[in-house]
Amino acid sequence: MSENMNLEQILDWYITAGVDAVCGDEPWKKTPALDIEGKKPKELSVPRLATTQLAQATVSACQNARQICSQAETLDDLKKMVEGFEGCALRLTANKTVFGCGSAQADLLLIGEAPGADEDRSGVPFVGRSGHLLDKMLHAIHINREECFVTNILPWRPPGNRTPTDAEIAVCLPFLKRQIELVRPKIILVLGGSAANALLDNIEPISKLRGKWLDYTTTKGEKIPVLASFHPAYLLRNSAQKAKAWSDLLRVKQKLCEN
Ligand code: URA
């Protein structure tokens, strides 16, 4: 980037470089500059202070989210509360809050990771390319999307689809947990490693987690069978894994018929 570029050219340059979202109005320095003698400046303690403040802010945002959830008696209440929640900075860069949608009496609840660009525009989960594949997968086991409840770990799109941070997941998790409690599905199908790790609170790779029945315990102590499978976006890139995803879907169908 040259110093003589005007604002429009600078924006053009960013867009060409793949930057499609801004995270804040003020630029910030990631590493403090060294002084003339190459020594570390005193302001080095500032990032440490900022880290502590950030951790404290995360803890209080989590408490706030849990408190809000305990007051939500219906999905509609919860949706409004999530839309008004200010404890997660992702809300500032997202266009829409993407709350779960579908049947409030669903037997099957599906969980993805986070909204992408299409979902951020429409406010509805899984409407882009991954969503189309998900619809086809459900159709293959004779299930319509409308019969299910579809949601995500995060209700806001991380800028540029970056991986969500642990803090963002921790703050948003109470909203997902409350959606599960309100829907009370018979089965949960969790799509992709990040969503499975967040819901099941583990760090196992999806290759190890997928295909077997696990339990999710609600905050009220109820156990719900969970099956983890590959994320449709991953299947779009790795069609060789579709056979495994198909066997996961058949397990889901079988369990739904048993219950
Ligand atoms: N990927 C997800 O994990 N969720 C969506 O809603 C869309 C794409």
95-113 pLDDT, tens digit per residue, is: 999 999 999 999 999 999 9
User: 197 to each of 62, 125, 137, 207, how far by Cα in Å?
Assistant: 18, 19, 22, 12
Q: What is the pLDDT of residues 197-220, one digit of tens each?
A: 999 999 999 999 999 999 999 988
| pLDDT over 80 at 230, yes or no | yes
Question: Is the minimum distance from the CB of 113 to ligand 1 under 6 angstroms?
Answer: yes
pLDDT of residue 51: 79
Evaluate whether 152 touches 125 at the Cβ level (below 8 Å): yes
The number of the ligand 1 atom at minimal distance from the alpha carbon of 153 is: 3
State whether the Cα torsion 150-154-156-157 is positive or negative: negative
Distance 115 CA to ligand 1 centre (A): 5
Helices within 141-188 (DSSP H only): 166-183
Distance 80 CA to ligand 1 centre (A): 21
Laid out side by side, the sheet with 108-112 consists of: 101-102, 149-152, 108-112, 187-191, 223-229, 213-217
Confidence of residue 7 (pLDDT cuts 50, 70, 90): confident
Residues of the chain with CATH 3.40.470.10: 53-258
Q: What is the mean pLDDT of residues 62-75?
A: 96
State whether the Cα torsion 56-60-65-66 is positive or negative: positive
Distance 35 CA to ligand 1 centre (A): 46
Question: Is the minimum distance from the CB of 120 to ligand 1 under 6 angstroms?
Answer: no
pLDDT of residue 11: 78
Distance 62 CA to ligand 1 centre (A): 23
Confidence of residue 29 (pLDDT cuts 50, 70, 90): low
pLDDT of residue 22: 66
Q: What is the pLDDT of residues 114-166, one digit of tens each?
A: 999 999 999 999 999 999 999 999 999 999 999 999 999 999 999 999 999 99
pLDDT of residue 38: 61
Task: Compute the distance between CA of residue 29 and CA of residue 44 in angstroms, rounded to an integer.
Answer: 11
The number of the ligand 1 atom at minimal distance from the alpha carbon of 195 is: 3
Confidence of residue 21 (pLDDT cuts 50, 70, 90): low
**Pairwise pLDDT comparison (238 vs 7), residue with the higher score:** 238
> pTM (2 decimals)?
0.82
Confidence of residue 53 (pLDDT cuts 50, 70, 90): confident
Distance 233 CA to ligand 1 centre (A): 8
Evaluate whether 82 touches 121 at the Cβ level (below 8 Å): no
Question: Is the minimum distance from the CB of 232 to ligand 1 under 6 angstroms?
Answer: no
Evaluate whether 187 touches 227 at the Cβ level (below 8 Å): yes
Confidence of residue 16 (pLDDT cuts 50, 70, 90): confident
Question: Is the minimum distance from the CB of 102 to ligand 1 under 6 angstroms?
Answer: no
Confidence of residue 193 (pLDDT cuts 50, 70, 90): very high
Task: Compute the distance between CA of residue 219 and CA of residue 240 in angstroms, rounded to an integer.
Answer: 37
Question: Is the minimum distance from the CB of 193 to ligand 1 under 6 angstroms?
Answer: no
φ/ψ bin of 224: left (φ > 0), alpha (ψ from -120 to 50), beta (otherwise)? beta
The number of the ligand 1 atom at minimal distance from the alpha carbon of 118 is: 7
pLDDT of residue 71: 95
Evaluate whether 177 touches 38 at the Cβ level (below 8 Å): no
Q: What is the CATH number of domain 53-258?
A: 3.40.470.10
Q: What dihedral do alpha carbons 34, 36, 41, 43 form, nearest 10°?
A: -80
Q: What is the mean pLDDT of residues 59-86?
A: 96
Distance 37 CA to ligand 1 centre (A): 50
Q: What is the mean pLDDT of residues 48-74?
A: 90
